[in-house]
Structure 1
Amino acid sequence: MSTATARYAGQLRTEATHVASGTVILNDAPVDNHGRGEAFSPTDLVSTALGTCMMTIMGIVAERHGLDLVGTSFDVTKHMAAEPRRISEIEIQFRMPAALPAEKRVLLERAARTCPVALSLNPEIRQTVQFSYEG
């Protein structure tokens, strides 16, 4: 069974549907590449997928160790190279609960850096990941 289906809607927009859930993601070309920029671009999705994959893997590890990550958040910044046009760097800043013990922080950070998306990206794409413990 397919993971997703997609159709071109015109004006540099696609609509992708997750087969199992029916969830639809709109996708636009970015403004700096002839698009409207009204939705995630394909490279925005890749960058965001890295952060959400890291968060999911940390969540799995946290559950296994009885840790609470509710409220953890991240910001992602994508950097593009011009020739050829591609993602050159993805920066992710995680904000983690301050109550996490030091030895568990190391475990969670290691898990994040080895998520499937991180391991699937071309090694030429720099992954700059930082963790701060707040609150």
Structure 2
Amino acid sequence: MTNITCTYLTDGETELVHGPTGSVIQTDLPPDNGGKGRRFSPTDLLAAAFASCVLTIMGKMAAARGEKFEGARVEIDKVMASNPRRVGEFVLKVAFPAHFTAEQKKFYISAVNACPVHQTLHPDVKVTVNVL
């Protein structure tokens, strides 16, 4: 179990403190929801968690296989939906190290579905994956 404390600061901003490490993240409301967009929004953090989850699982897979994985990246776009306001879709763009074969890329893409963040999303949230 991880403890995170969230404190409302002012003007739509919050501060999150990761209990075990003391790491701090601040958030703000996005402009399209009445905020100023000065920091990650809560749904931006959800997108960031998804991308980070996928990439760290891929990194563990690569370590287990003894394959170099440095430089891999995931770009993620969050598409909002309305009625109710929620994330409607995530579009992931996965860039693998240049030396990866098509077979390796296919193997590593399985991490998208294995990611606990993805498994937690409501089934109505569309997930699109593109390999760069």
TM-score in terms of structure 2 length: 0.94
Paired position in structure 2 for 1:23: 23
Map 1:1-135 → 2, pairs under 5 A: 2-132=2-132
Runs ≥4 residues deviating over 6 A: none
AA of the residue aligned to 1:40: F
Per-residue Cα deviation, 1:32-55 (whole angstroms, up to 9, x for no partner): 111110000011111111111000
Normalized per residue, the structure richer in strand is 1
Distance 1:128 1:3 in 2: 31
SS of the residue corresponding to residue 99 of structure 1 reads coil
Deviation at 1:95, TM superposition (A): 1.0
Cα shift at 1:111: 2.0
Q: Tell me the SS of whatever aligns to 1:46.
A: helix
Q: What CA deviation, in whole Å up to 9, does each residue of 1:78-104 have, x standing for no partner?
A: 111121111000111011112123333
For 1:117, the aligned partner's letter is: V
Per-residue deviation, 1:2: 4.4
Tell me, in whole angstroms, the C-alpha distance in 2 between the residues paired with 1:65 and 1:106: 15
SS in 2 for 1:111: helix
Structure 2 Cα separation of the partners of residues 95 and 81 of structure 1: 27
**Structure 1: gaps of 5 or more residues:** none
Distance in 2 between the 1:19 and 1:95 partners?
A: 33
Q: 104-113 vs 6-15, which deviates more?
A: 104-113
Structure 1 pair 105–2 and aligned structure 2 pair: CA distance change class (3 A): closer
- Kindly indicate whether the alpha-carbon contact (under 8 Å) linking 2:96 and 2:105 is maintained by their aligned counterparts in 1: no
Report if aligned partners of 1:67, 1:100 keep a CA contact under 8 Å in 2: no
User: What is the distance in 1 between the residues matched to 2:44 and 2:54?
Assistant: 16
Alpha-carbon distance in 2 for matches of 1:35, 1:63: 41
Structure 2 residue runs of 5 or longer lacking an equivalent are none
Superposed CA RMSD in Å reads 1.3
